[in-house]
Amino acid sequence: MVNKRAGDIVQGDKTGDKPLSDIVKEYIKHKYNKPGNVYLGTVHRLDRPTSGLVIFAKTSKVLPRLNKLFLSKDIHKTYWALVKNEPQKKEDTLIHWLKKNPKNNKSKAYLKEVPDSKKAILHYKMIKKLDNYYLLEINLETGRHHQIRAQLASIGCPIKGDLKYGFDRSNKDASISLHARHIEFIHPVKKEPMSIHAPLPNDSTWNACLT
């Protein structure tokens, strides 16, 4: 389990930037003094500007089991997001159909099904009001491309720093204020319950969420 920094890519892409998976492999190799190549399986991803928990598999035996947990929705992820506007409801379930546009790498949320769209469901509740932002806690039922970003933007609550989905200015570090905060699941080998929180990024706005 790794607490990803905003800006890191989970797996290699066309940018050629060093992915988090390579950084973690080097860490494991050094910490445990492992000879040869280190195995590391990528179970899921987070968008590049997003921070928070990412699960990696350290053995080929565990990877398909973790993949199965994700497919069966037996891994529960909770996100925190700082948004610009107060949602009309303090707590709600959002249901949209998302259609991805590969040209601009963006998803659009529709209230009704359209061709090539996928159903997207999330639950949110407002847990804190800051001076200029609102802190929402989000639980996903589906895992669609840019789901949280697109669905919150569609109700007039773009995420802080998210220019692509309607926020008016970027964060200084080019992040968006979306953080994979908590993960719960039963370990597929040890059969023990796992419950892990990721510390928030260290900036004044996130810090205000904990005071």
Residue of 59, 76, 144 whose CA lies nearest to 106 = 144
Rounded Cα gap, residues 20 and 180, in angstroms: 16
Phi/psi at 170 (nearest 5 deg)? -85, 155
Phi/psi at 24 (nearest 5 deg)? -65, -40
Task: Kindly calculate the radius of gyration of the chain based on its CA atoms and give it in whole angstroms.
Answer: 18
56 membership: H or E segment, kind and range: strand 56-57
Residue 47 is among the residues annotated as catalytic for this protein: yes
| Annotated catalytic residue within 13, 22, 47, 168 | 47
Q: Which residues pair with 53 in a beta bridge?
A: 3
Residues assigned a catalytic role:
47
